[in-house]
Amino acid sequence: MSPRDPHPEAGADAAVSAGHAKRSDAERNRGRIIAAARTVFGRDGLNASMASVARETGVGIATLFRHFPRKEDLLAAVFADRMKAYAQATDAALADPDPWHGFTGYIETVCAMQAADRGFADILTMNFPGVPELEKHHARAYEGFLELIGRAKDSGQLREDFTSRDLVLLLMANAGVLSATADAAPDAWRRLVAWMIQSFQAPARGPLPDPPEDAALYEAMRRASHDVTTPETGKRR
């Protein structure tokens, strides 16, 4: 035992306690940031800046970036649970013994999820290939929706020219209506969705223009996600 350090165990215990305290503080800060981001993105949409999230949290911007170096990282933390619920909604719809009711119920559920959270309304119309946590749920939901389409068409109740791209267009339209009406007419989206569901039903009332190509629609969704994650150097973030 060194005369300069008569109680080395005490020093080690203090260091361990200090380490636990720092981790606890970091976890609390992370939780506060995520909660604040839910509020900001839900209120202002995904174009809200990282600085506005820091202000809502009450932390410095440097603290925020220590926890979430990219905006994509923060989006993943905020919306992973909602994206999981989005994917799980296909499971519930596929369990419905009525193919048409399952199909329309899924559309209504997803559009209602958009209406409940403006940020999530935007997320559903974007692609984040650099955020695996979001993309895996998106892919699962897509596969489930393809099955819903097949069942509804086999039942003779869904028009044959409906494609999965039509859901993307509906979600984009619904996001636009939600953004435009906001508190002024918060239930306006329900009329849009009802009109669209009726237009999907067989027999078709007439031919439709060709849907956008998959690659073109993917590029539109990719650009939308790029717009909200580009650093604040004269562009939106």
Q: What is the mean pLDDT of each run of 10 residues along the chain (237 residues)?
A: 58 52 74 93 86 93 92 91 92 97 97 90 83 87 96 97 95 92 91 97 92 87 81 44
Q: Quickly name the fold that domain 9-69 has.
A: Arc Repressor Mutant, subunit A (1.10.10)
Q: What is the pLDDT of residue 172?
A: 93
DSSP, collapsed to helix, strand or coil, labels residue 48 as coil
Judge contact between 33 and 64, C-beta under 8 A. Answer: yes
Domain edges within the chain = 9-69, 79-224
In the prediction, which pLDDT does 133 show?
Answer: 83
| 79-224 CATH fold | Tetracycline Repressor; domain 2 (1.10.357)
pLDDT at 115: 92
DSSP annotation string for 123-152: HTT---TT-HHHHHHHHHHHHHHHHHHHHH
Helix/strand/coil for 60: coil
pLDDT of residue 120: 87
Give Cα separations from 63 to 28, 57, 67, 68, 69 (angstroms). Answer: 12, 10, 7, 9, 10
Q: What is the pLDDT of residue 35?
A: 94
Could you tell me which residues come within 8 angstroms of residue 229 by beta carbon, excluding any fewer than 6 positions away? 70, 71, 72, 75, 237
Using the structure block, give the residue that is written with the tokens 């990719």.
222
Please give the pLDDT value at position 138.
87
> How buried is residue 106: exposed, middle or buried, by Cβ count under 10 Å (0-12/13-18/19+)?
buried
pTM of the entire predicted model: 0.79
